[in-house]
Copies of this chain bind each other. A is one copy, B any other.
Amino acid sequence: MTTTEKASPRDRLLDAAGELFYTEGVSIGVEALCRAAGVSKRSMYQLFDSKEAVLAASLERRVPWYESQFSLPDPQAATPRERIMNVFEVLEKASVEPGYHGCPYLAVLVELKDPEHPAREVAHMVKRRLEALFRAEAEQGGAHDPALLARQLVLVFDGASARAGSGVERLDDGLATKTAAALLDAAGVG
């Protein structure tokens, strides 16, 4: 039974929220959100406390998929450097796809000025985890200063995603990978 079942109101809501917040920005209204999800406002407000909570939940639900994007099919068969470079290769590939508007977690951090917004916490966590991933690989790769290298790589990642997402830069000539490679070289990661 459960296999053929239609998506639950909760799932439809989170799907629509993920898409609308990403393409239209965080100022999308509750009315439009519910209309797109095919869910009544009544149902939305008994599933979530507020519009903020919907945004936070929609960001959180996509975290596993977002992070799985960056891992190689067979991580064991690759070097730390290759695993790091893969992140930037994936970013460059994603950035040229139609409808790409940059990393949604960075966008939320920039758009939401309110430091108490629950969605900020989710976005912040995703960024901390990406840095941790870089740091672990940097250590394993023998970087001179793994913590510094990790922060540098996130800098490049976010800069590339913000600029490509807002349409002022193109990554399809390998800008991000070349920059990451230069930093890996400088840090002594072979």
CB atoms of B24 and A113 under 8 A apart = yes
Tell whether A152 pairs with B110 under 8 Å between CB atoms, given A115-B167, A158-B163. Answer: no
CB atoms of B169 and A151 under 8 A apart = yes
Q: A62 at the A/B interface (Cβ < 8 Å)?
A: no
Tell whether A175 pairs with B159 under 8 Å between CB atoms, given A25-B111, A113-B24. Answer: no
Closest B residue to A27 by CB, please name it. Answer: B27
CB atoms of A176 and B163 under 8 A apart = no
Residues of B within 8 A of A23 (CB): 113
Tell whether A109 pairs with B168 under 8 Å between CB atoms, given A148-B175, A176-B155, A186-B186. Answer: yes
Q: A166 at the A/B interface (Cβ < 8 Å)?
A: yes
CB distance from A91 to the nearest CB of B (A): 12
Q: A14 at the A/B interface (Cβ < 8 Å)?
A: no
A163 vs B156: C-alpha distance when bound (angstroms) = 11
CB distance from A92 to the nearest CB of B (A): 12
- Where chain A touches its partner, the secondary structure class is helix
CB atoms of A178 and B152 under 8 A apart = yes
CB atoms of B154 and A163 under 8 A apart = yes
CB atoms of B166 and A179 under 8 A apart = no
CB atoms of B159 and A109 under 8 A apart = no
Q: A134 at the A/B interface (Cβ < 8 Å)?
A: no
Residues of B within 8 A of A185 (CB): 186
- Report A138-171 CB contacts with B as 1/0, cut-off 8 Å: 0000000000100110111111101101111100
**A24-B113, A182-B182 provided; 19 other pairs, C-beta below 8 A?**
A23-B113, A27-B27, A110-B110, A110-B111, A110-B162, A111-B111, A128-B168, A152-B175, A152-B178, A152-B182, A154-B159, A154-B163, A155-B156, A155-B159, A155-B163, A158-B162, A179-B183, A182-B186, A185-B186
